[in-house]
């Protein structure tokens, strides 16, 4: 018999779910330790929301099991709801209610005792930078503020497990920093967090990541170890026209893949040190403008492309 602290906060085994002909999730397993910030990363339609909804007990899997703090989510979703909080991708705020009224509504829904409610809502509004806007109608908040209000509402009842589906999409960088400060504080308090994100800088802050593609977990590890998969094999070419440069390098000897990254191209090669000058020479031969070709530290997006050939 394992001790309660050794037990993972979330243990999912063999999750599967289809919608008609679409196999949204296939054989997904994951084990998340208490106090982790676990990231689900993958392109649109990869199955992130479907996994989240199953973990939250709002969507029944076709197959598989989920134990959340030892509770059988599939068999007893109502019991699981007492210990978790789920912030859906489109969180249900009441636009014609004020900020504080929305929080009050969720406090009532989760039966938070009054004294605790007052203290917690004050703390959370402060942390989210929403205190000055508490009397504003939710419908009149900016997109980023709405997301933060969603998080405040999701946290009003001190969950042990927090499930956040793309909580910062559309949120400005300053607000995202506030958001992360809240998440780190929760982690210190032992809250386990699973979040999906489309932002790679955010993925890097997670303790571990599951790379999801076409409904399957392709890799699950720390951001550092995931990046080791492509370390030493990545070159960056800035300057000139990235698209033309990428096209010119795609079929060069030793090149395994090319990824456009805004104003530059990342080129995956067999050996960065050896191919660096060759690639520069090839661009020069074709009269293509470019900055020096330099080795670069991989990001999660590079890992994703190397593993499945898809961009996140």
Site of interaction with Mg ion (CB under 5 A): 48-49, 89
Structure tokens at 45: 């339609």
Max CA distance (Å), the chain = 73
288: helix, strand or coil = coil
Kindly tell me which of 102 and 197 has the beta carbon lying closer to ligand ATP. Answer: 197
Note whether 88 binds ligand ATP by CB under 6 A.
Answer: no
- Are 48 and 69 in contact, with CB atoms under 8 Å apart? no
Among 19, 118, 185, 228, binds ligand ATP (CB under 6 A): 19
Q: How far is the CB of 161 from ligand ATP (least distance, A)?
A: 19
- Are 102 and 138 in contact, with CB atoms under 8 Å apart? yes
Pick the closest to residue 157 from 88, 89, 189, 109 (CA basis).
109
Note whether 47 binds ligand ATP by CB under 6 A.
Answer: yes
Beta pairing, strands 161-165 & 192-197? parallel
Kindly tell me which of 19 and 184 has the beta carbon lying closer to ligand ATP. Answer: 19
Q: How far is the CB of 19 from ligand ATP (least distance, A)?
A: 3
Binding partner selected for residue 46 from ligand ATP, Mg ion, none, CB under the kind-specific 5 to 8 Å limit: ligand ATP
Binding partner selected for residue 19 from ligand ATP, Mg ion, none, CB under the kind-specific 5 to 8 Å limit: ligand ATP
Binding partner selected for residue 22 from ligand ATP, Mg ion, none, CB under the kind-specific 5 to 8 Å limit: ligand ATP
- Are 211 and 226 in contact, with CB atoms under 8 Å apart? yes
Kindly tell me which of 217 and 249 has the beta carbon lying closer to ligand ATP. Answer: 217
Q: Which among 39-47, 123-131, 150-158, 299-307 is the span making contact with ligand ATP, rule CB under 6 A?
A: 39-47
Q: Quick one: how far is CA 242 from the chain centroid?
A: 28
Pick the closest to residue 259 from 233, 283, 285, 277 (CA basis).
233
Span between the terminal Cα atoms of the chain, in Å: 40
CB atoms within 10 A of CB 214: 16
Among 9, 32, 46, 162, binds ligand ATP (CB under 6 A): 46
Q: Which among 18-26, 29-37, 101-109, 267-275 is the span making contact with ligand ATP, rule CB under 6 A?
A: 18-26
- Are 17 and 25 in contact, with CB atoms under 8 Å apart? yes
Binding partner selected for residue 184 from ligand ATP, Mg ion, none, CB under the kind-specific 5 to 8 Å limit: none
Q: Which among 46-54, 101-109, 222-230, 277-285 is the span making contact with ligand ATP, rule CB under 6 A?
A: 46-54
* Surface-to-core class of residue 169, CB atoms within 10 Å of its CB (0-12 exposed, 13-18 middle, 19+ buried): middle
Q: Which residue has the tokens 């019991």?
A: 79
Among 24, 194, 230, 234, binds ligand ATP (CB under 6 A): 24
Binding partner selected for residue 50 from Mg ion, ligand ATP, none, CB under the kind-specific 5 to 8 Å limit: ligand ATP
Kindly tell me which of 49 and 121 has the beta carbon lying closer to ligand ATP. Answer: 49
Identify each DSSP E strand in 133-225 by its residue range: 161-165, 192-197, 208-213, 216-221
Q: Residue numbers of the site for ligand ATP (CB under 6 A)?
A: 19, 22, 24, 42, 44-50, 89
């Amino acid at each position: 018999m394992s001790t309660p602290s050794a037990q993972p906060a979330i243990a999912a085994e063999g999750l599967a779910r289809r919608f008609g002909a679409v196999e949204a999730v296939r054989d997904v397993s994951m084990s998340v330790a208490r106090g982790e910030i676990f990231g689900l990363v993958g392109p649109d339609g990869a199955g992130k929301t479907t996994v989240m909804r199953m973990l939250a007990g709002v969507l029944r899997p076709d197959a598989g099991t989920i134990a959340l703090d030892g509770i059988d989510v599939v068999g007893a979703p109502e019991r699981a709801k007492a210990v978790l909080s789920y912030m859906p991708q489109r969180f249900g705020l009441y636009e014609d209610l004020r900020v504080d009224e929305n929080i009050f509504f969720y406090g009532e829904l989760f039966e938070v005792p009054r004294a605790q409610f007052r203290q917690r809502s004050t703390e959370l509004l402060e942390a989210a930078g929403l205190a000055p806007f508490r009397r504003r109608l939710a419908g009149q908040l900016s997109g980023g503020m709405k997301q933060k209000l969603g998080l405040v509402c999701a946290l009003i009842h001190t969950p042990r497990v927090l499930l956040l589906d793309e909580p910062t999409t559309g949120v400005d960088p300053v607000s995202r920093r506030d958001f992360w400060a809240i998440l780190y504080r929760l982690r210190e308090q032992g809250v386990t967090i699973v979040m999906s994100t489309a932002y790679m800088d955010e993925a890097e802050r997670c303790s571990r990541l599951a790379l999801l593609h076409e409904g399957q977990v392709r890799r699950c590890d720390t951001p550092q170890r995931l990046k080791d998969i492509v370390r030493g094999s990545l070159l960056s070419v800035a300057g000139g026209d990235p698209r033309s440069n990428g096209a010119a390098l795609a079929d060069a000897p030793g090149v395994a893949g090319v990824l456009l990254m805004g104003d530059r191209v990342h080129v995956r090669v067999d050996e960065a040190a050896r191919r660096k000058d060759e690639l520069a020479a090839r661009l020069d031969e074709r009269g293509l403008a470019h900055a020096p070709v330099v080795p670069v530290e991989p990001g999660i997006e590079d890992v994703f492309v190397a593993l499945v050939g898809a961009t996140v």
